[in-house]
Structure 1
């Protein structure tokens, strides 16, 4: 597995227009009243839109033979914003495998994508690929021991996964009931990146920030969210950052969350 560390995944240019940026905002839950997110006049692009542009990079790793794509899962995500994305234009990206952590029965592959606009890191949990004698890597961020500053509610919509997959992640398990059952799920479920982006909207509003001003974002995908689920989001202020967790009923779905708004 150490042979994968630092391996280049190549470069790619992606071109987007205003329609794609607006579709993204709607797919992650922006309301029609948020005109600067859904109307081409004075449009601001949500920073998490970058993750749809860079999705090609983690998708390269499985076919390259790093792990079994049928069992690997997206464990966590990091985003660091360098400058705002244009409402329309071309973004050049370069990707590589960062660290490969040995968790014993599994390995965690970090896929790093860099551009002039953002840096993003996918952590892919690959069962059966551990035990190669590598370092375990950092532990997951623990829930704060204090009571949350705010408790928010977010209701996902029944068509949210169907909309989000139009941005590029066309894995069948998010739309096809049979594919979801084959993946061990009772029905199609939300993309983790859609859920992570969606929670930044009420967090920004509650903390009197603009969601397009997001500059840093981290989150771990603890369990799946299904379209129509209602999320409870708890937040803590932490030296300029906002820590958060999200749950459905008593089941944690996002943990180790951290957001910074410029």
Structure 2
């Protein structure tokens, strides 16, 4: 099936999700919260199931737009087997409740051609609203479909972040858990590259890879702990590109550069080889 730009500019939805504090906890667990039974328990301890009071990890915004239902609905002719998450840019407008029925409307904003052998690049924008109409978040999400380049479309814009010419101001190391993808996929990203060993062998990788959003969620925990600890609700923006696959078991190093009041840059590298291609790049975090 050939790439078609017919749906560019079209908004789909609402995509409705009923969630409770359990879903907030599953998302956080899939991003490594509580991995040692002690770290970042504020994201997974509801204290009282009848009146839960945990702190939602803000990355919960992303799977409301990035999930199997949305991917299958916004079909512009891409080869799903070659679909890779390319990056996100999330704006947070209001906090998530402990339980709610939310509606997400997703617009297919652009489809670009990266060239033969490099795939297509898609941009979708999801806007999520609470049951009382409050605008909770806006998620810009990008997907690269590696088998679908060279169809003659426009080239994508550049996406680069200029890091300071100095060592990071802070960093945090953490081993990505072997089973985190098995948990995170419960958020609705069922792609077999995250669970099926035979499927992944075809790509030449040693094992199923981490979800980009799960890795981003781990990095989000790190930057919160380094920049505004204990206050995830202060985050107003989180942006990054997924530039290299993470194999579970790798030790992530989240590097942070402070850039003034309420803004920092970050990236995630392999702690054992900082010169290797970063796992996450072009990272921006902002908070109030």
Per the TM superposition, whether the score is higher than 0.5 is yes
Contact 1:173 1:179 in 2 (8 A): yes
SS at 1:117 equivalent? strand
Q: Quick check: 1:36 aligned with 2:39?
A: no
| Structure 1 unaligned regions, length at least 5 | none
Deviations 1:102-124 (A, max 9, x none): 32333211011112211112111
Contact 1:150 1:234 in 2 (8 A): yes
SS at 1:256 equivalent? strand
Superposition CA RMSD, Å: 2.1
After superposition, where does 1:1-262 map in structure 2 within 5 Å? 1-31=4-34, 32-33=37-38, 34-41=40-47, 42-56=53-67, 58-60=70-72, 64-105=75-116, 106-115=119-128, 116-131=135-150, 134-147=153-166, 148-209=168-229, 210-239=231-260, 240-248=262-270, 249=273, 250-251=275-276, 252-262=278-288
SS at 2:79 equivalent? coil
Distance 1:127 1:175, change over 3 A: closer
Shift of 1:214: 2.1
Contact 1:222 1:255 in 2 (8 A): yes
| Structure 2 unaligned regions, length at least 5 | 48-52, 129-134
Alignment size in residue pairs: 261
Distance 1:72 1:204, change over 3 A: same
CA distance in 2, matches of 1:73, 1:178: 18
Q: TM-score, normalised by structure 1?
A: 0.90
Shift of 1:67: 0.8
CA distance in 2, matches of 1:142, 1:95: 26
Deviations 1:62-91 (A, max 9, x none): 6x2431111221111111111111111110
Of stretches 251-260 and 204-213 in structure 1, the one that deviates more from structure 2 is: 204-213
Contact 1:102 1:132 in 2 (8 A): yes
